[in-house]
Amino acid sequence: MTDSQATARAYKPAPRGTVLLVDDNADLVRGLKTLLQNDGYQVVTLGNGSTVVESVAVNRPDIVVLDVMMPVVDGWEALRRIRENPANERLPIMMLTAKGTEDAKVQGFTMGADDYLSKPFGVREFRCRIEALLRRSRPDEDHEEMRLPVVADSGTRFLDVKDIVYIEGVRNYTYMHSYDTRFLGKLSLGQIEARELFGMMRVHRSYIVRLSAVRGYHWASKSSFKLVLDDADGTEVPVSRKLVTEVKAKIGC
């Protein structure tokens, strides 16, 4: 896709949001685009910052990822142009660069960047930073959509999705597992899956996991693939065989 094609592309909402990725490294762009699309994002790409303002206006991204070192118009100038427009004041912008010096980071933050990731970086860190920036930028009225009801002494309380490591379905019930606590849920796995919660995936008929809480995986046997979760017990959750390839792509394996 050329820069002009990306700029002219009509806006279409995506389940997880739209990412504008601006980088002249074709291999990196291809890899990050696949990763983000597998996570449910729409991705618009540009090879440099010359048309970044127009692309922001047309595609209305939820976040911009800018490489610093690019031909024609580099990341610093692209960042300046985006921030010139008051309408983009709250648009999250993450800078990518091979320069990891303190001075470079200070320059980026001073010019209006929200985060700074030095190359080379891991896909898990990239994913987590994207999720964190989007979570912080979402308006308060959306917060209710990112909480799930559980049973409490007072009747009902709500858990933030970011605090849930995995959700377990047992017969007609669900249990919400945080780092070290289990809560009885008030929704079925099907109802939770239908909400298309940001960062959550149903990996098995009995389990939904928060992808950023996956810290490893292994084949327990020739037919049993399991995720190792980042909770107090290092819980292992099975993955349906037909979903193994998709799950591995989503967690950056």
Domains of the chain: 3-137 (3.40.50.2300), 143-250 (2.40.50.1020)
Q: Taking 80 as the threshold, does the pLDDT of residue 63 lie above it?
A: yes
Contact predicate 212/227, CB 8 Å: no
**pLDDT bucket at 66, cuts 50 / 70 / 90:** very high
* Of 35-44, 82-91, 140-149, minimum mean pLDDT range: 140-149
Quick check: 237 and 246 in contact, CB under 8 A?
no
Dihedral in degrees, nearest 10, Cα atoms 141, 187, 236, 33: -40
For the stretch 158-177, pLDDT in tens is 888 888 999 999 888 899 99
Question: Of how many residues is the chain composed?
Answer: 253
One-letter amino acid for residue 221 of the chain: S
β-strand partners of 71: none
The pLDDT value recorded for residue 144 is 54
Say yes or no to pLDDT of 56 above 80: yes
Q: Determine the average pLDDT of the residues in 85-91.
A: 86
Which pLDDT band holds residue 3 (cuts at 50, 70, 90)?
A: very low
Q: How far apart are CA 26 and CA 163, in angstroms?
A: 36
